[in-house]
């Protein structure tokens, strides 16, 4: 079976970086992933990148979280970045893990807004691209493995 080719996640991040302040602010103000369809800046980033419905939803998750994550070239996963961050409590992370869509993404984004983590964007984007119960568990494991002693 042929392995599925992932999108070029850094191209999306670079497109985000190229946006002016106004469109970036529009994307930051969105409160729910489904509100993105009402924001012109979403289409500047999304346009032509997906054909299938599941891909469109995956891009929606990426673009919903993108304004809250800073890219680093270091091999820092999102869980590790949250563990090193401004005191993300276990309770907040478990809220994400136990929630269903779209509340899981809303809860995750609230944490990201609070912490403003620096994580490796391609690794983080892959986690969000395949967002599922397994991805949530991977996030939680990465968080706990990297807890300060």
Q: How confident is the model at residue 3 (pLDDT cuts 50, 70, 90)?
A: low
144: pLDDT strictly greater than 80:
yes
pTM for the predicted model, two decimal places: 0.92
Can you say how many angstroms the Cα of residue 50 is from the centroid of all Cα atoms in its chain? 17
Q: Which residues pair with 71 in a beta bridge?
A: 119
Domains of the chain, first to last: 9-145 (1.10.520.40)
Distance CA 56, CA 49 (A): 8
Whole-number average pLDDT of the chain: 93
The HSE-up count of residue 115 (CA atoms within 13 Å, CB side) is 26
Q: How confident is the model at residue 1 (pLDDT cuts 50, 70, 90)?
A: very low
SS3 letters for the chain? CCCCCCCCHHHHHHHHHHCCHHHHHHHHHCCCHHHHHHCHHHHHHHCCCCCCHHHHHHHHHHHHHHHHCEECCCCCCHHHHHHHCCCCCHHHHHHHHHCCCCHHHHHHHHHHHHHCCEECHHHHHHHHHCCCHHHHHHHHHHHHHCCCC
* Percent of the chain surpassing pLDDT 90: 85
Query: What pLDDT does 49 receive?
Result: 82
* Percent of the chain surpassing pLDDT 70: 97
């Amino acid at each position: 079976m042929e392995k599925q080719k992932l999108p070029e996640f850094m191209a999306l991040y670079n497109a985000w970086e190229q946006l002016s302040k106004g469109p970036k602010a529009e994307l930051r103000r969105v409160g729910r992933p489904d509100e993105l369809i009402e924001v012109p800046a979403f289409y500047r980033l999304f346009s032509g990148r997906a054909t299938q419905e599941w891909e469109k939803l995956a891009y929606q998750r990426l673009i919903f979280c993108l304004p809250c994550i800073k890219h680093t070239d270091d091999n820092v996963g999102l869980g590790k970045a949250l563990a090193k961050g401004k005191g993300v409590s276990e309770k907040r992370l478990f809220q994400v893990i136990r929630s269903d869509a779209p509340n899981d993404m809303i809860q995750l984004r609230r944490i990201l807004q609070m912490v403003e983590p620096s994580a490796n964007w391609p690794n983080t984007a892959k986690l969000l691209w395949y967002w599922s119960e397994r991805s949530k568990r991977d996030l939680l494991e990465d968080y706990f493995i990297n807890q300060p002693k």
